[in-house]
Amino acid sequence: MHSGSILFLWAVAALFVQQAESWGLAALTAISLVVALVCTRVQCVRLLARIRVLLLAILVLFAWFTPGEAVFMDFPRASPSREGLLLALTHGARLVALVCWVALLLGRMSTDRLVNGLYALFRPCRAFGLPAERIALRLLLVLRHASAARNDGHWKDWRVWLNPSSTTDGETVQLIRERLGFKDVALPAVAGIFLALWWLR
């Protein structure tokens, strides 16, 4: 499938999960977590570890600062509210689902395909003066250098970016344009219509 279509479907899914609630959201998050751990375990665990503080902040802010019925009736001042816990679980589940999808996206698509997909999505904006090719090529260079710095052990050392030897002189960068097939247009169109109908219901 065309990389631009994959990114568009990912964006539609990200918008859809913001509307999911209750058991549907729980099932969606559980399935996403299992699939991500099976397909891209290392990437998924790393991303989930990076958002642990954010998940804790969501729990504290919603559970203890949302008015409602206290969970522990004997200690109402120190107790989280039931409504707050429900909100915390809802927003936390949405965040975990998105992170799992990001792990799948990064684990199953190469950097070049990701950038090509973004180029395909930004290409119609050229009518408004947006240089889609330059944005895609610059993003590709940034991602390549970030990956090289991480692999060389210089990920946390910002001074490596000031080293003249880390410039892109002589490096050949190629932006590949993928062909659009029928399903590459039909699937995003159906997904977009479905999301629009879901929001208007």
Burial 142-153 (b: 16+ CB within 10 A, else e): eebbeeebeeee
Same domain, 137 and 92: no
Domain boundary among 109, 143, 170: 109
Q: Please indicate, yes or no, if residue 17 is contained in any of the structural domains.
A: yes
Task: Indicate the pLDDT class of residue 13, thresholds 50, 70 and 90.
Answer: confident
Q: How confident is the model at residue 111 (pLDDT cuts 50, 70, 90)?
A: confident
pTM value?
Answer: 0.76
159 burial level (CB within 10 Å; 0-12, 13-18, 19+): exposed
Decide which of 57, 89, 109 is a domain's last residue: 109
Q: Cβ-count burial of 68 within 10 angstroms (0-12 exposed, 13-18 middle, 19+ buried)?
A: middle
Give CA–CA dist 80/77, Å, rounded: 8
* Residues in the chain, overall count: 201
Structural domain that includes position 44: 1-109
CB 36 within 8 A of CB 105: no
Cβ 67 vs Cβ 81: under 8 Å: yes
Q: Which one of 109, 138, 159 terminates a domain? A: 109
Q: How far is CA 60 from CA 53, 68, 88, 97, in A?
A: 11, 14, 8, 20
Q: How many percent of the chain have pLDDT more than 90?
A: 28
Regarding whether 128 and 88 lie in a shared domain, the answer is no
Per-residue confidence band for 31, with pLDDT thresholds at 50, 70 and 90: very high
State residue 159's pLDDT score. Answer: 54
Q: Does 51 lie in the same domain as 15?
A: yes
Concatenated DSSP letters for 24-70? Answer: HHHHHHHHHHHHHHHHSHHHHHHHHHHTHHHHHHHHHHHHHHS-S-B
pLDDT at 198 over 80: no
Question: Is there a domain that residue 10 lies in?
Answer: yes
Instruction: Give a yes or no: residue 153 inside a domain.
Output: yes
Nearest to 100 by CA among 171, 41, 12: 41
Letter for the amino acid at 161? W
Reported as a single tens digit per residue, the pLDDT across 62-94 is 999 988 888 888 777 778 899 999 999 999 999
d(CA 175, CA 136): 8
Q: Taking 70 as the threshold, does the pLDDT of residue 108 lie above it? A: yes
Strand-pair partners of 70: 81
- C-alpha to C-alpha distance for 96 and 55, rounded to whole angstroms: 9
Separation CA 163–CA 176 (nearest Å):
29
For position 124, what pLDDT does the model report?
80
Count up the domains in the chain and report the number: 2
